[in-house]
Chains A and B, each alone.
Chain A
């Protein structure tokens, strides 16, 4: 079975600082990778996803992520965060070609100070 590890539980940044959130997964085959964001009191929304092709994927709101296969990693980045980016961020993985559930990491709470 697949698993996901997010190393940072809580990250606090000032506005305009750069962001990188770590995500590592464990699975013996090909995977699809996702980052979701959950704003306070809201449901999960997709930020970006990787299925195949260019390992650097761009998502909404200026976020991007890079898939490094050799490291089993899919880190999320943003060059300059805003106060409105304060939220919980979840990395998720699913075996390619499988309709089974996404497996989520434990989440990273990002707090951006104005």
Chain B
């Protein structure tokens, strides 16, 4: 069984479009995250979220918004996509301060 899953795996879209990436975890973890990995492989936290608190990295544009319909899901919605948004986006989850489990990633290409 996949612990953390993301869809789609690849996403190619035009500038200005709005898109969403879905994430689901079946580990029963309390906290979920979104990370952005750029072309130099650098991993940058975008959001961390549990049922009590949403923490937003202040450098993330407000075009990005997390949406959590329930504890097992944390979707990422992006408005007005820009060229610089092209990257691989990883969802992850963890319980308390234990290690994080990562999803397979979504490679977003903005044309």
Residues of A bordering B, CB below 8 Å: 32, 34, 36, 38, 42-46, 49, 51, 88, 90, 94-104, 106-107, 109
Contacts and interface: CB of A to CB of B under 8 A. Distances in A.
A103 B94 CA distance: 14
B54 to A, nearest CB: 12
Interface string B28-63: 001101010000111101001010000100000000
B64 interface: no
Given A43-B90, A46-B99, A99 B43 contact: no
Contacts of B110: none
A45 B55 CA distance: 24
Contacts, number: 55
Contact of B43 (A46, A90, A94, A109): A90
A99 B30 contact: yes
B97 A88 contact: no
A96 B90 contact: no
B66 interface: no
Nearest to B43: A104
Interface in B53-111: 55, 90, 92, 94-97, 99-105
B74 to A, nearest CB: 13
B43 A107 contact: yes
Contacts of A95: 97
Contact of B41 (A49, A101, A107): A107
Contacts of A107: 41-43
Contacts of A51: 97
B99 A34 contact: yes
Given A43-B103, A44-B102, A94 B97 contact: yes
